[in-house]
Structure 1
Amino acid sequence: MTNPPSNPPSTPSSAAPNSLAGRREWTALCVLMLPLLLVSMDVSVLYFAIPAITADLEPSSTQQLWIFDMYGFVLAGLLLTMGSLADRIGRRRLLLAGAAAFGLASVAAAYAQTPGQLIAARAVLGVGGATLMPSTMALVRQMFRDARQRAKAVAVWSGVMTGGVALGSVLSGVLVENFWWGSVFLVNLPAMLMLLVLGPILLPESRDPAPGRFDLLGVPLSLAAVLPVIWGLKEIAAHGAHPGYVASLTVGLLFAALFVRRQRTAAVPMIPPSLFRARGFGAAAGLNLVAAFAMMGSAYFTTQYLQSVLGKSPLSAALWSLVPSVVIGAAAPLAASLVARGVRRPVVVAGGFTVSAAGFALLVPAGTDSLWLVLAGAGVLAAGIVVVMSQITDLALSTAPPERAGTASAVLETGQEFGGALGMAVLGSVGTAVFRGGMPDGAPGPARETLGGALAVARALPARAGAELTATARTAFTHGMTVAAVCAGALLLAAAVAALLMLRGATGGPEGGGEDAGGAGAADLPGRRAEPGTRPAPANAARAQAG
């Protein structure tokens, strides 16, 4: 018999199932949260830096738009590719490569001399972010085999991911007030250096032991499907349903159909159809999209409400927006605790959707001077969404085969990008339609389009006329927000019912008693068989090891 190599590559089957994570794994989780926090912060970190960037680099209006959007577009477009690549070459390897690229691109962005250089650096940041997000989630899946511990780790992951977006805008305001605009990028470097030093020591390597040939045709098809849809939805949210944006959306959907056909017929697809046959994974991905729809759709209104209705400065509005985080921080751990105590996961997810619907209900009676009511609604809404996302993420990771953890993570995160863009487009369109109906017929054209346009027109009018137009516009916007809140609340109540029905029988977590309860293992995938010498863990293994 041939002796095995002394240091075999770590694969999902190489560790004892249901083994409890120790201090090393929890320390590694803290290290993993650093890049995750920075990737989520980079979505909003330019909010307060863009005026200084505009004064220094003098970009055109189109260039300024791409400085904002390039990061998010590249990130969304490459998530599926990078998730599949992580499963093939190793999640730790791709994570460290992405961290190096992210750090170098941060330096390039900080010292950019032209708008083109900054746009290019933001594109490379998007590439790095696309490698970091699915890799961090897949490594959490690898390090935390015990279902209860994994639920806690995913709760931390979800909290950091949600909090980073809010923290990014505040941090950029503080840095720009005290340093130059490039500091919002250089703040990434210490965390990335720490990851590059500690990652090889603390993080395990894991990959698919039999990945097959990489689906090269799937890469351009996925990009052609994701990018036009995301861009079209964002532009519709900002400017309305113009033919060009609708055409972009249509083209993206056509490529999406081609991508799905490719995945169904390819010998080794980028996203194997068997992933969606794992009990509960498809439902989890769909419900995750709805949760992102609600989260980003609400943010579309609350950020404008704080700045344009209440008249707060951007930095003041960002600081006030941190108030709901007090509630959000406890949401995911509470949900994990409920599931660990025996509450069925579908009930917890349905409860999260119901709580979020209650948050939207709090927005319905809001007027033009309802700061605390809007903040309370945003906090309750976000807490419910974090409950949903943390449980859905844990369910999806539990039901997906360990060797497909990177791909599964990328599918979830791409769905979040779609859901967020769709939420802003749909709820934004509802609010805009109500806003236009609430504006007087004789108002100038720009004043009937958006609240920002109305306030700009009002500033150019005589004092009394300007004050009347401002009051009318703020009332119309608030009414549009409340109507959109009713629509979103109804959708979330429907999602709560759907969660009870669609997740029934899909345990995949602590209440299932063992790791991956209800999930599909390697042996469930076409062309795979169980690793020699392995056998299913007893259902009570985690409980027995926990004493």
Structure 2
Amino acid sequence: MTQDPPPRAGAKEWIALAVLSLPAMLVIMDLTVLHLAVPHLSADLSPTASQLLWITDIYGFLIAGFLITMGSLGDRIGRRRLLLIGAAGFGLASVLSAYATSAEMLIAARALMGIAGATLMPSTLSLIRNMFHDDRQRTTAISLWMMSFMVGGSIGPLVGGVLLEAFWWGSVFLVGVPVMVLLLVAGPFLLPEYRDPVAGRLDLLSAVLLLAAVLPVIYGVKKLAEDGFGWLLVASLVVGVGFAVLFVRRQRSLDDPLIDMELFRNRAFGATLGVMTTATFAMMGLNLLVMQYLQLVHGLSPFRAGLWVLPMTGAMMLGMILVPLLASRVRPGRLIAGGLLVSAAGVGLMTQVGGSSGFGVLITGTCVMAAGFTPPAALGTDLVISAAPPSKAGAASAASETSNEFGGALGLAILGSVGTAVYRSGMSSSSDLSGLDASAAEAAGDTLAGAVAVAAALPDGAALLTTAQDAFTDGLRVTAVVAAAIVLVGAVLAAVLLRRVGVSGAEVAPQPTTVEAVAP
């Protein structure tokens, strides 16, 4: 008896996908636009140094800390319901942020935005799982959904720059309000509702343990990126890992856990999460250095540097269009491994960047790197949510997003630290620092931004600036070597661990070898 093919999505589902892609794009935009607004809001609200850190960090911290909890909550109360509640909360928090009259009010509003934002990503992805049952259509839908993230990350600084030139700093937060209103109006008509009919109550202790595990680890990784290795980093990681162990032990003891630990035994789930984390690690870490290179070595403004990110975005969008076509002919493991090999080649090009003459090589390398990352991004996400039962799609979607959060944070911290270490090593032996006073020498030897500021204040700072730019370029090249090695490891893992995984997330049995009997 042949099994009926899964139903195919129609026009309603594709229109709903477009609506779902908008909030996903805005969540990423709000991670980037604030950095442009910091000088303006600092002049208006006069936050302390500690308050400014909380303003910039608390949004991303709470998104990472609440993703799995919100994904599991959506499985229980309904994914559409949670999405609409989150959209209303996000819109309200955006207005509060825009019209904040004190640093404390802005911190509280950004915290609310982070909690609401954590409901949007797993809800949208799990709803896509419910709307697109055909494997090829679902891969295409997730590729288009992932494209919204790339667009949001690329146009965020551009949109923020335009708004800040025309309006006050709060305007950058109001971009999302019309989109959330559209989602609240169209969502009940376009989006299906789904929840696990046999789900139990949300275990609040698990949610607290997860938050206590994620936040210290993210904070520790951030401290590594900012200050290097230190006791605060170690303490944060120890606390976070300790709570993570308690969280895992509690999940194993519950009949209805926040996330089923048995999912990680499935290669399409656990191995794919590892590969996706590896890919995000390399890309996010390198992007940090690339943006600094464009602005501090080539002297581009933030807006012009943002424009030069658009070719990379175009390469990723092209890749997202090609992935569904290739996925119908090539197994996911091979396609993901092949994409990572392409990325490694792009990262390898970046090792050839040389001072101010490496602009074209750098842009070409980032485009090749970005195009190669599209198979693990799109197919990896598809495999993760397909490997989980439909009733657990919310938690699985949240796990996918959490792995990206951790991969990005680790990449920024570790690869950023590698580049900084090489820069400081190169500057420590430079004779250009010998004639400076102690504070100026420390600033120039610590970061390229510090060296640019010191050189600008000197009557003849050209030699110092050239030395600092060369040291930073050396750091970029060494970081690219490390990143290329990590990407190659990810490619090997994908080729080996995912070699028998089909596009639906299920393992494909190897073809049996038949041996014909030979008559004597």
Asked if these proteins are the same fold (TM beyond 0.5), I'd say yes
2:476 to 469, 475, 481: 481
* 1:289 matches 2:239: no
Could you tell me how far apart the structure 2 residues matched to 1:61 and 1:504 are? 50
Work out the percentage of aligned pairs sharing the same amino acid: 53
Q: Paired residue for 2:333? A: 346
The verdict on how the C-alpha distance between 1:17 and 1:256 changes in structure 2, with shifts beyond 3 A counting, is farther
Q: Paired residue for 1:492? A: 487
2:386 to 398, 416, 419: 398
TM-aligned CA deviation for residue 518 of structure 1: 4.1
Could you tell me how far apart the structure 1 residues matched to 2:154 and 2:234 are? 30
Deviations 1:188-224 (A, max 9, x none): 1111100000000000000111112322111111111
Secondary structure of the residue aligned to 1:207 is coil
2:203 to 183, 207, 215: 215
TM-aligned CA deviation for residue 17 of structure 1: 6.7
Secondary structure of the residue aligned to 1:414 is helix
2:172 to 166, 179, 184: 184
Given the two structures, how large is their TM-score scaled by the length of structure 1?
Answer: 0.88
> Which stretches of structure 1, 4 residues or more, deviate above 6 A after TM superposition?
none
Q: Paired residue for 2:346? A: 359
Deviations 1:311-351 (A, max 9, x none): 111122112222211211111221111011x2111111001
Amino acid paired to 2:392: R
Amino acid paired to 1:160: S
Q: Paired residue for 1:426? A: 414
* 1:150 matches 2:145: no
CA RMSD between the two structures: 1.4
My pick for the range that moved more, 135-144 or 213-222, is: 213-222
2:311 to 317, 320, 323: 323
Deviations 1:54-85 (A, max 9, x none): 11111122211211111100111100110110
Query: In proportion to residue count, which structure has more helix?
Result: 2
Q: Paired residue for 2:239? A: 251
Could you tell me how far apart the structure 2 residues matched to 1:423 and 1:499 are? 19
The verdict on how the C-alpha distance between 1:87 and 1:17 changes in structure 2, with shifts beyond 3 A counting, is farther
Could you tell me how far apart the structure 1 residues matched to 2:326 and 2:490 are? 20
Task: Please tell me whether the aligned partners of residues 67 and 119 of structure 2 are also in contact (alpha carbons under 8 angstroms).
Answer: yes
Secondary structure of the residue aligned to 1:323 is helix
Q: Paired residue for 2:39? A: 51
* 1:467 matches 2:454: no
2:372 to 374, 381, 384: 384
Could you tell me how far apart the structure 2 residues matched to 1:211 and 1:518 are? 27
TM-aligned CA deviation for residue 457 of structure 1: 2.4
Deviations 1:41-64 (A, max 9, x none): 111011221111111111122211
Q: Paired residue for 1:162? A: 150
TM-aligned CA deviation for residue 279 of structure 1: 4.2
Task: Please tell me whether the aligned partners of residues 454 and 469 of structure 1 are also in contact (alpha carbons under 8 angstroms).
Answer: yes
Could you tell me how far apart the structure 2 residues matched to 1:257 and 1:301 are? 34
* 1:171 matches 2:166: no
Could you tell me how far apart the structure 2 residues matched to 1:165 and 1:128 are? 19
* 1:437 matches 2:432: no
Amino acid paired to 2:339: G
2:98 to 99, 103, 110: 110
Task: Please tell me whether the aligned partners of residues 356 and 383 of structure 1 are also in contact (alpha carbons under 8 angstroms).
Answer: yes
Q: Paired residue for 1:193? A: 181
Could you tell me how far apart the structure 2 residues matched to 1:244 and 1:457 are? 30
Aligned residues: 495
Secondary structure of the residue aligned to 2:36 is coil
Question: How do 1:522-541 and structure 2 match up within 5 A?
Answer: none
Could you tell me how far apart the structure 1 residues matched to 2:493 and 2:103 are? 46
Could you tell me how far apart the structure 2 residues matched to 1:185 and 1:383 are? 30
Deviations 1:472-522 (A, max 9, x none): 11100111111010111011111111101111222143xxxxxx6449xxx
**Mind listing any 5+ residue stretches in structure 2 that lack a counterpart?**
434-440, 509-520
Task: Please tell me whether the aligned partners of residues 263 and 388 of structure 2 are also in contact (alpha carbons under 8 angstroms).
Answer: yes
Secondary structure of the residue aligned to 2:193 is coil
**Mind listing any 5+ residue stretches in structure 1 that lack a counterpart?**
1-15, 510-515, 520-547
TM-aligned CA deviation for residue 118 of structure 1: 0.9
Task: Please tell me whether the aligned partners of residues 47 and 103 of structure 2 are also in contact (alpha carbons under 8 angstroms).
Answer: yes
Q: Paired residue for 2:302? A: 314
Could you tell me how far apart the structure 2 residues matched to 1:249 and 1:484 are? 24
Task: Please tell me whether the aligned partners of residues 334 and 499 of structure 2 are also in contact (alpha carbons under 8 angstroms).
Answer: no
Amino acid paired to 2:490: A
Q: Paired residue for 2:502? A: 507
1:41 to 29, 32, 41: 29
* 1:454 matches 2:457: no
TM-aligned CA deviation for residue 23 of structure 1: 0.4
Could you tell me how far apart the structure 2 residues matched to 1:22 and 1:186 are? 33
My pick for the range that moved more, 92-101 or 241-250, is: 241-250
Q: Paired residue for 1:88? A: 76
TM-aligned CA deviation for residue 469 of structure 1: 1.2
